[in-house]
Amino acid sequence: MSEPDPAPVARVGWGFDAHVLDDQPPLVLGGVEVSTTYGLSGTSDGDVLSHAVTDAVLGACVLGDIGEHFPSDD
């Protein structure tokens, strides 16, 4: 009788991103520009949703965090 296959390893990634509110649009969430009178400041597009999801996927794959792949000084 053969041994059962081992259970697959579950991986979980936790993503986080934050930017300061700015009085200048645009506000981009998940790649969609939201029509509003304010936006998020940052060295990038300020898309906190896309950045957090990317950070979570990289973490689940044990590939570091988003800052290692896309540094703010790049």
pLDDT tens digits in sequence order for the chain, 74 residues long: 688 888 888 899 999 999 999 999 999 999 999 999 999 998 888 999 999 999 999 999 999 999 899 888 87
Give the per-residue SS3 of 3-54.
CCCCCCCCCCCCCCCCCCEECCCCEEECCEEECCCCEECCCCCCCHHHHHHH
Q: Is residue 24 part of a domain?
A: no
Which pLDDT belongs to residue 36? 94
Alpha carbon distance 49, 3 (integer Å): 43
Query: Is 66 within the bounds of a domain?
Result: yes
Asked, for residue 55, whether it belongs to a domain, the answer is: yes
Total tally of structural domains belonging to the chain: 1
8: its two tokens: 């697959």
pTM: 0.80
